[in-house]
Amino acid sequence: MDFFDILVSILGSTIRLSVPLVFTALAGLFSERAGVFDIGLEGKMLAAAFSAACVAYITASPWLGLVAGIGVSVAFSLLHGFASITNRGNQIVSGVAINFVVAGLTIVLGQAWFGQGGRTPQLLPQGRFSPIILPGVEALRGIPVIGPLYANVISGNNILTYMAFLAVPISWWILYRTRFGLRLRAVGENPGAVDTAGISVTWLRYRAVICAGILCGFSGTYLAVAQSAAFIKDMSAGKGYIALAALIFAKWKPVPVMFACLLFGFLDAFANFMQGKSVPLIGEVPVQIFQALPYVLTCILLAGFIGVANPPKAGGVPYTKER
Amino acid sequence: MNTASLPLPGWITFGLIPLINLVLAFFFSGLVVWFIGENPFDALALMLEGALGSGEGIGFTLYFATNFIFTGLSVAVAIHAGLFNIGSEGQAYVGGLGAALVALSLDHYVPWYVTMPFAILGAALFGAGWAFIPAFLQAKRGSHIVITTIMFNFIGAALMVYLLVNVLIVPGKMAPETRTFLEGGQLPKLDWLMALFGLKLGPAPFNVSFLVALVMCVVVWALIWRTKLGYEMRTLGVSPSAAVYAGIPYARTVIIAMLISGGLAGMMALNPVLGSSGRLQVEFVGGAGFVGIAVSLMGRNHPAGIILAAILFGILYQGGDWVSFEMPNITREMIVVIQGLVILFAGALEYMARPALARLYYSMARKA
Amino acid sequence: MSQAPAIELVGIDKKFGAVHANKNINLAVAKGSIHGIIGENGAGKSTLMSILYGFYHADSGEIRVGGTPVTIRDSQAAINAGIGMVHQHFMLVENFTVLENLVLGAEGGMLLAGGVARARAELKRLAKDYGLEVDPDAVIEELPVGLQQRVEILKAMYRGAEILILDEPTGVLTPAEADHLFRILGVLRDQGKTVILITHKLREIMAITDTVSVMRRGEMVATRKTAETTVEELAELMVGRRVLLRVEKGEAKPGAVVLSVRNLTVKDGRGVTMVDNVSFDVRAGEIVGIAGVAGNGQSELLEAISGIRMPASGEILIDGEPIGKADPARLRDLGLAHIPEDRHHMGLVLRFEEYENAILGYHRDPKYGGLFLDLDAIRKDAIEKIEKYDIRPPNPRLRTANFSGGNQQKIVVAREIERDPKLLLIGQPTRGVDIGAIEFIHRRIIDMRDAGKAQLLVSVELDEIRALSDRILVMFAGQIVGEKTADAGEQTLGLMMAGIAA
């Protein structure tokens, strides 16, 4: 394999590995820009993956799987909202709780229903989102550089992949060009301003966490019904936290979020590629370096060495009217 | 403001409300059990029997509780200084390295009671070291400690896997773990303590670390409520502006509090590494750091409460194992569900029952 | 038939638990007038206005707008009824532009573009009609406070407010900004709008209002035509009896210079210069008072001298020795004590028990133990202070939050004075403190002076400054604009505080 083929293959898997990160980080974006910290992204993603896999298996329809994934993920969002918005509980603790409940429940239910040690049964091809070949692949095949890139990176992905990258401009548009977005950004900075403007802080924040739930539903579904063909226990494997890191790394802005996710996805793809390979002079680079790199980079950012990352001002603080 | 936010007597705040939350958590856990077709009451009976029905069960329960006391104390110390350390998991993991290095280098030469103090020190130093960077970033650069400690959990996990797979592994073996320590590197079990109560410990790994944990409870209690350092930490935790006024140095206090917190988390490694398996293994912490958050919350950040909450979670872990053994339909992960529900109800939904109780209490008080 | 009042409150009653915040309030505000509501802190003014703006719900009573009874369930209902409010703490989104803040909650459609364009046009019109000029694309956090307040007023106007409530609007303004605000309020009135001005500053009432209502301990005690009343009458109505802020004291006997401030410049967290090249001395045995409108740099001055805030430049000397970068702990060792302006956030930890607060800042003193706290010594010490200062209830184990304002302040005063410092910094010693405690605290301060201590007093209560000080420095816009003796007239000082005469 020459260098270019390797590059194309790494870029292709970068895209595939970035998709769940993009969905999840955008989910975090909606929630956190509204002032509700969400470390339960991981749990919501996992819950969505499990329910999507179950429903897709039973109905043989990936779309119904997606609906189920979104539904369950939104339900957990509402739970997070109930704890942290309605009851003014600690948002971090609520997120931790949801991650635990889901990590356990998916396996307990999976075992009880299917008896395969927490796995769900393998999906048939029609139960999955399969790759879409874009028009023009054959026509462009002969052109150097562009041809292979188009065929293997741009084309040949499943519908959810395209939706993920479409979700980025849509999220940007919602946040910066709509009434809902304006209010959402405002409530994350100064809920008092929103309240005195006659808007319900509670309802607004609930809508934000519901958005987060929907997006986590997409990412979980992608894991189980597009990338794989079944739910495997703990299949989110920390992606929720990487997405959180990407969100911070992107300073809570939608378009940078996409680039941060692509970067972290690339690190992942590169690590996979490097596994077992030896680099001249250095020797074999341990894969753990690539695993730790997103977190290390985020810490360096947080330390203020790559610009300043200002989280939404009212983030993590339940809103109470002052007396 | 209405009745719901009026003050309530201590027995409601510290007794009834936690109890209600716990009952709710178990109620929903019961629903899950019922949903998958088992009888929740049978499961509960099995759980209690497994956790408390025999000397071995109790031994296991207290073994698990020991882990949670350490991590609970770790979380509590940080909370008193106003810091939410959710990095106990990673600090315990790295602390295991400190403990193991001590055991590996001393076990040839000295008996366990010489190794132990050094192992405690090693574990605490490594745990504290892993807390230092997030602490420093919070103190000097204002980086949010919740986020940096999450990140450090993952960085720590990657580091430990690397070390176990590439450095500490026994040559020629497949399992990423150190060699088994000799007797000089293993902590003795507390069969004599169990024997005092007429119980037989059996194979349960209940060991001397438990006593270390209890000592640490006293030390933490004294630290928080009886030392000047504890006074400064509490002032900072409750009112950062008053701390500035009082000349309490922010950066120093934050860093010291986190070092102590990380040290306590690191000490947790003593129990599984030197007290049970006798070697350092991948993922030996197994979520105990996160359970520490729940334990500290439920125990109201007080060592006495932490001991009780840790034992409760110990019962959950050991009893849960027993249940999954006896009821194959319920897997061991049911523990994780219950744990999550306890964190949810005792932590995040802590105040859910309060408004209703307040109204009830005041309407009763009015009638009386 | 005469026109119905713009706003009428009938029998408004509100309790917070045991606190009766508003007792059977009746109030009528005439359309096209500026109506002042005056009262001490805690008299119930803000609660009443919060009810009017839908933040709280009255337990009983009726609100009428233009003669029609209305139910104001939330802020939206208040806005719909034509009521706008400028809060004491601005309700602005700091990283939004002026326009974005303006349209928030009144976007006029799902998409922003149309609403923003309309707001831009409307902003131009409002600027012209009322003299409310502000750059529509400026980001709020980059605007000075006075302009931020203008944005708040614009927000209300943009929503079509006919009635504008301003809650302590001048607290954060420089005198020039306050004057400008008053001119704007005058224009609004002339255009037929109704303005309700809540304040505890008598001067403002006299300067701008047509009618004034006085609140005291939750009750509306009187309503007067401003032209027909006097400052003295209003003051008496506010506190319920004639205040005698004269404290018996003899001649000061100033000794050696204890505190020297040389060319001190201090910036706040945003980098704005709050103290501008200030120099003065305080001698042993004298009280130097700093008079000034709140927000003219007094707070930052105290913070710099007490080591809480690092000065940008200049020097502070105690007994002729520069303090350099000494922190509050080191300064206490040098004999400095500090009664801070804000006892809730600085002077006390409200969740601590009383005895724990009695050592705050001095907790490292060996007499309270070494590594460990010597609880016996600390509690004994606390009980002594409780007795000497008549702190009630006399229980060192009680949570500090459960003491009244006056007793809380006594805990702070006892702690600082009983250290027997050579230099005492005093900020707002009697804010939110009952009359009895005021007299007690004033007496202690005079005793300290007579014992030969140097004291620097900052208070926004001019009467307090005049009653206690031996020398008065007037601070305006970060500078000391003049020095007067204690017998200087209120008028003279007032003009200096407003930056008009030196």
**Is the distance from CB of C199 to CB of C168 less than 8 angstroms?**
yes
**Is the distance from CB of C78 to CB of C53 less than 8 angstroms?**
yes
pLDDT, position C44: 84
Give the closest of B84, B148, B161 to A92, CB-based.
B84
**Is the distance from CB of A29 to CB of A217 less than 8 angstroms?**
no
Q: B168 CA to chain A: closest CA distance, Å?
A: 15
Q: A124 CA to chain C: closest CA distance, Å?
A: 42
Among A residues 225-284, those touching chain B with beta carbons less than 8 Å apart: 238, 241, 244-245, 248
DSSP B203-217: T---BTHHHHHHHHH
Domain boundary among C420, C436, C454: C420
Give the closest of B231, B239, B241 to C363, CB-based.
B231
Question: Chain B: residue nearest C343 by CA?
Answer: B242
Residues C214 and C102 in one domain: yes
Q: Which domain holds residue B31?
A: 12-38+334-357
- With 90 as the cut, is the pLDDT of residue B91 above it? yes
Q: Is B362 contained in some domain?
A: no
Domain boundary among C239, C254, C279: C239
pLDDT, position C18: 67
Q: Is B50 contained in some domain?
A: no
Side-chain-side CA neighbours of A243 within 13 Å: the count stands at 34
Distance CA B286, CA B320 (A): 15
Distance CA C486, CA C291 (A): 11
Q: With an 8 Å Cβ cutoff, is B84 touching chain A?
A: yes
Q: With an 8 Å Cβ cutoff, is C78 touching chain A?
A: yes
Quick one: what percent of chain B has pLDDT higher than 90? 68
- With 80 as the cut, is the pLDDT of residue A279 above it? no
- Top pLDDT among A313 and C380 is at C380
Q: Is C2 contained in some domain?
A: no
Distance CA C299, CA C426 (A): 11
H or E element that contains C65: strand C60-65
Among A residues 153-192, those touching chain B with beta carbons less than 8 Å apart: none
Q: What are the residue ranges spanned by the domains of chain A?
A: 3-302
C-alpha dihedral sign at A179, A180, A186, A192: positive
Q: With an 8 Å Cβ cutoff, is C348 touching chain B?
A: yes
Average pLDDT, chain C: 88
pLDDT, position C248: 77
Q: With an 8 Å Cβ cutoff, is B316 touching chain A?
A: no
In CATH, what number is assigned to the domain containing residue C456? 3.40.50.300
pLDDT, position A160: 94
pLDDT, position B1: 40
- With 70 as the cut, is the pLDDT of residue B183 above it? yes
Q: C180 CA to chain B: closest CA distance, Å?
A: 34
Residues B138 and B204 in one domain: yes
- Band of residue B133 on the pLDDT scale cut at 50, 70, 90: very high
Residues B342 and B320 in one domain: no
CA proximity to C438, closest of C290, C245, C292: C245
Q: What's the average pLDDT block by block, 10 residues per block, for chain C (502 residues)?
A: 81 82 91 89 82 89 92 90 89 93 90 91 89 90 87 92 90 76 92 90 84 89 91 75 65 92 89 89 95 83 94 94 91 95 91 94 93 94 94 90 87 94 93 80 93 93 87 91 85 75 56
Question: Chain C: residue nearest B242 by CA?
Answer: C346
Residues B232 and B88 in one domain: yes
Residues C287 and C408 in one domain: no
Best of B221, B226, B231, B236 to mutate (most C CBs within 10 Å, chain C)? B231
- Top pLDDT among B89 and B175 is at B89
Q: With an 8 Å Cβ cutoff, is A183 touching chain C?
A: yes
- How confident is the model over A231-247, as a mean pLDDT? 91
Give the closest of B6, B222, B242 to C346, CB-based.
B242
By DSSP bridging, strand C83-86 and strand C163-167 are: parallel
pLDDT, position C242: 46
Residues C461 and C485 in one domain: yes
Q: Which domain holds residue C396?
A: 344-420
Distance CA A79, CA C168 (A): 40
C-alpha dihedral sign at B258, B261, B264, B266: negative
Domain count, chain B: 2
Class of domain A3-302: mainly alpha
Residues C11 and C141 in one domain: yes
Q: Is B165 contained in some domain?
A: yes
pLDDT, position A323: 42
Residues B207 and B339 in one domain: no
What phi and psi, each to the nearest 5 degrees, are found at residue A318?
Answer: -65, 145
Three-class DSSP category at C8: strand
Provide the edge-to-edge strand list for the sheet that holds C19-29. C19-29, C7-16, C60-65, C68-70
In CATH, what number is assigned to the domain containing residue B281? 1.10.3470
Q: B114 CA to chain A: closest CA distance, Å?
A: 35
Average pLDDT, chain A: 90
Interface size A-C, in CB pairs within 8 Å, comes to: 76
H or E element that contains C332: helix C328-333
What phi and psi, each to the nearest 5 degrees, are found at residue C442?
Answer: -60, -40
- Top pLDDT among B156 and C109 is at B156
Q: What is the ipTM for the molecules in this complex? A: 0.89
Q: C450 CA to chain A: closest CA distance, Å?
A: 41
The total number of residues written for chain A in this structure:
323
- With 60 as the cut, is the pLDDT of residue A1 above it? no
Q: With an 8 Å Cβ cutoff, is A192 touching chain C?
A: yes
pLDDT tens track for B301-355: 999 999 999 999 999 999 988 998 888 888 888 888 998 998 899 888 888 888 8
Question: Chain B: residue nearest A288 by CA?
Answer: B158
Residues B320 and B295 in one domain: yes
Q: A262 CA to chain C: closest CA distance, Å?
A: 28
Residues C148 and C187 in one domain: yes
Distance CA A267, CA A247 (A): 16
Q: Which two tokens stand for residue C290?
A: 């700093």
Residues B248 and B348 in one domain: no
Residues C293 and C233 in one domain: no
Q: A68 CA to chain C: closest CA distance, Å?
A: 29
Q: Is C30 contained in some domain?
A: yes
* Interchain proximity C96–A199, CB inside 8 Å: no
Domain boundary among C360, C389, C420: C420
Q: Is C1 contained in some domain?
A: no
Residues C438 and C401 in one domain: no
Domain count, chain C: 3
Best of B155, B161, B321, B324 to mutate (most A CBs within 10 Å, chain A)? B155
Best of A175, A196, A200, A201 to mutate (most C CBs within 10 Å, chain C)? A196
pLDDT tens track for C1-18: 467 899 999 999 988 766
